A and B are shown apart, each in its own frame.
Chain A
Amino acid sequence: MADGGLALSRRALDYPASDLSGVIPDEAELTAGVRIRAGHSYGFFTDTTLCIGCKACEVACKEWNNLPADHVGMTGDSYDNTGHLSANTWRHVALIERVADRPTEMRPFQSGWLMMSDVCKHCHNAPCLEACPTGALFKTEFDTVVVQQDICNGCGYCVAACPFGVVDLSADDGKAHKCTLCYDRLKGGLEPACAKSCPTDSISFGELPELHARAEKRLAKLHEIGVSSAYLYGMPDGPGATGGIGHLNAFFLLTETPETYNLPRAPTRPADRVAPSLAAGLATVAALAMTAFAVFARRT
């Protein structure tokens, strides 16, 4: 297979027919080169230099998860009429037009556009999960973060806690929604719908250690051919995985600053701010009590 690509599984030769009698066991082995097993960590590596903005991932996600179309209409923001992630949109292809490059400085090959398929990052230390008071958010056996709909009470703490602005409450059912990394598909041995539909393999699905190695190799290749601005966002303790988040199970290869892609430069866990906030509150109470005592003592 070509450099960086996936080798064709020998098992693919077992299924030459167009029509199949049922689901292929461990189908992800054929489509993504990985056998899905409980107890292993899975995620996405999104290489934005390969994204062509086709939105196949958005459509595949909506189709598989039976998510309705929302925000129908034109945003006026270039070709991006999806806008942002929401309760009904779990994949969002950002089309970022670099107007400064036009028209006199337009360079070939995606020079005028940045495209990135955004998704829930499935943080290692997930702030949404830490904030959930009912336990509706949990870590699955595949090391992903999922909202259990029958337990969610719609309090919205997870919405405020997410440093990436991913989780959203639905106005229709009052519950929090976000990407499940196709939990049901993983349980059935299937690759997530978005990664499977990606025509350029900009979205890779796999086990995290293997994805990290693949990302490092791709980064080295890009640096070698002169794309010195390329870097990885969400690798362990790297950019995007700051503030105790650890690492992102859905991480990215970017070529511009995180803010350009509407990603935070240094995301943090709100849980880390509880102790300082509590200390500040207690100190304030103590200071007010001492002042009141001093005023009262002077009067008497």
Chain B
Amino acid sequence: MQSLDGVVTLVQEGRFLMQSDAGPYHVFILSHAAAAEPDQLAALQRDQARVRVRFKRGRDTIAMVAHQIERLPGRAASG
């Protein structure tokens, strides 16, 4: 399973947008197999939290399916 580090910038239901450390934005869908619920994502956006997401490619979508989200120390640089 691949992983990507970045900052959660936007959350809608079980979907979130993450700006990876390399710069590009990626759309993620929270997998039904993930040990997290959609309402837990809002806090990540509110804090602009840095996270590490382990994911697989979505089926017939331009999105990744997040299977594990790990909160990393620190937060997005402001400004």
Contacts and interface: CB of A to CB of B under 8 A. Distances in A.
**A and B from one complex:** yes
Interface of A: 64-72, 88, 149-150, 154, 170-175, 177, 184
A70 B58 CA distance: 9
A68 B58 contact: yes
Contacts of B21: none
Given A68-B58, A154-B32, A172 B38 contact: no
B29 A172 contact: yes
A173 B30 contact: yes
A122 to B, nearest CB: 17
A172 B10 CA distance: 19
A66 B17 contact: yes
Contact of A172 (B16, B37, B59): B59
Contact of B32 (A65, A88, A150, A173): A173
Contacts of B58: 68, 172
Main secondary structure of the interface of A (DSSP, over half): loop
Closest 3 CB pairs of A and B: A68-B63, A174-B32, A66-B12
Scoring B59, B60, B63 by chain A CB atoms within 10 A of each residue's CB, the highest score goes to B60
Contacts of A172: 29, 31-32, 58-59, 61, 63, 65
A66 B27 contact: yes
B16 A66 contact: yes
Given A154-B32, A173-B29, A66 B10 contact: yes
A267 B39 CA distance: 34
Interface string B1-28: 0000000001111111100000000010
6 contacts: A66-B12, A66-B27, A68-B58, A68-B62, A172-B61, A184-B12
A70 B29 contact: no
A149 B59 contact: no
Nearest to B58: A172
B56 to A, nearest CB: 9
Contacts of A69: 61-63
Contacts of A177: 13
B37 A150 contact: yes
Scoring A66, A67, A71, A154 by chain B CB atoms within 10 A of each residue's CB, the highest score goes to A66
Given A68-B61, A172-B58, 11 more contacts: A66-B11, A68-B62, A68-B63, A72-B62, A88-B61, A149-B14, A149-B38, A150-B37, A172-B32, A173-B65, A177-B13
A174 to B, nearest CB: 4
B42 to A, nearest CB: 11
Contacts of B17: 66
A69 B27 CA distance: 10
Contacts of A171: 59-60
Contact of B27 (A64, A68, A71, A184): A68
A173 B27 contact: no
Contacts of A65: 12-13, 15
Nearest to A72: B62
Interface in B37-55: 37-39
A195 B71 CA distance: 37
A72 B16 CA distance: 20
Nearest to B40: A150
A199 B57 CA distance: 35
Contacts of A154: 32
Nearest to A147: B13
A150 B29 contact: no
